[in-house]
Structure formats: structure tokens, C-alpha cells
Amino acid sequence: MKFFADTAEIADIRELMETGLLDGVTTNPSLIKKSGRDFIETVREIAAICPGPVSAEVVALDHAEMMREAEILRKIADNIAIKVPLTIDGLKTCKALTDDGTMVNVTLCFSANQALLAAKAGATYVSPFVGRHDDVGYPGMELIADIRMIFDNYDFGTEILVASVRNPIHVHESAKLGADVMTAPPSVIRQLFKHPLTDNGIASFLKDWEATGQKIG
């Protein structure tokens, strides 16, 4: 399963790239607002740091304007994936862009039927939001299981990009269900490293090593 970082914070992206774990980055208008930076400049810098897909979202709601914005965004770098909402106009834009060789991430997916539509429109990625489903009392991971089954039934090439990932359990379940990609805030990715037994083991080994009075080198 590929790991994308859901952030517009450059320092976090640089750090995660150094681990070798990061395969791509997703951004959205809310993350850009949080960063306080210029949208185009931020996306350009991220695309230069991360060679994998970098999702940049259009904000228009009609097809013609989405295409105009997409034309600007996809010229930033070769690894830009245009992010469009799961609407009729969004899927028109998805088809036009994929037919022209541009990666497309169809976002704000909340049902298996919506994911099916995105796949039929040729989306590179479809982003079902599991955390937001959990928020309203629907188990978000059941949505991932349904989409995985449908995509496997028809051999769709669209990748399932699990979004709105809130905790390590979402990551674990996504991997078990065969999701292609998950995108999570850097804070959630860092939580994956943590385990109390790892911490206890390190503390125990260090204590024993200090007792030997030795040094390495």
C-alpha cells in the first residue's frame, strides 16, 4: 500500500521523504489555508520535493472552469494529479483530463456507487473519506471493502485512495482490505512508528549497554 501525506507543510513532507516511506502528497483548499502560503508556489515546491503524485485541487464547480484551472495546475510539474469533486461536472473533467494523459484524483467520495462512477470515468484515483463516514455513525472501512470488491469484480484500474484517515487503525484496516493508497496527516503517519514495547525494549537495551561501560568507536 502506498503512503501519501495529506498536508501542505513543507517541513513535514521533507522529513517524511527522508524515511523513504512517502509515495505522494495530497493537498486541498483547507490545507492551503492552514499553511498560510500561496497555493501555486506551495504545490510547485511540494512537486519538486516529492517525485510521486501531488494532488492539486480545482475549486471551480462547472466543467469549463474546472478545465481552465486544471490547465494551469497541470503545467506546474509532470507529477501533478488534478483533484476534482465527485459531481457530474467533476467527472466530465476527469474524463477529459485522463483522455489527455493527466492523472486525476476524484475526491469527496462517500458511496460505492460514486466510486464506480469515478472508475468508469477513468479516474487515476478515487478518494473515499472514511473518517467523515465514521463521524456520522457509518463504518467508513465498510465503504472501502465494498469499493475493493466492485473494482476487483470488473478489473478497474482506478486506485482506491483512502482519505480522511484519522488514526493508525484506519491505516491497518485499509491495508488489510487491499486499498491501493492511503493519505494521512503527518501526525498519523508518525503514530505508526510508536509502540510501547518498542520504547520499553530500547530503554532496556540502553540500560544494559550503559552497564557494560563500552562505546562503539
Hey, what amino acid is at 181? V
Determine whether 132 is exposed, middle or buried from the number of CB atoms within 10 Å of its CB (0-12, 13-18, 19+).
middle
Measured CA to CA, the distance from residue 123 to residue 125 in angstroms comes to: 5
Residues marked active site are found at 83
Distance between start and end Cα atoms, the chain: 39
Hey, what amino acid is at 101? G
Judging by DSSP bridges, how do beta strands 125-128 and 103-109 pair with one another?
parallel
Length of the chain: 217
pTM: predicted TM-score of the whole model, two decimal places: 0.95
Q: Among residues of the chain, what percentage have pLDDT more than 70?
A: 100
Distances (CA, A) of 192 to 7, 12, 38, 104, 169: 17, 15, 31, 28, 9
How does pLDDT run across 116-164, given as a tens digit for each residue?
999 999 999 999 999 999 999 999 999 999 999 999 999 999 999 999 9
| φ/ψ of residue 46, rounded to 5 | -60, -45
Measured CA to CA, the distance from residue 168 to residue 192 in angstroms comes to: 6
Average pLDDT score over the chain: 97
Domains and CATH numbers, the chain: 2-212 (3.20.20.70)
Measured CA to CA, the distance from residue 112 to residue 131 in angstroms comes to: 16
In sequence order, the 6+-apart residues with CB closer than 8 A to the CB of 39 are 32, 56
How does pLDDT run across 65-91, given as a tens digit for each residue?
999 999 999 999 999 999 999 999 999
Distances (CA, A) of 212 to 62, 129, 203: 70, 52, 15
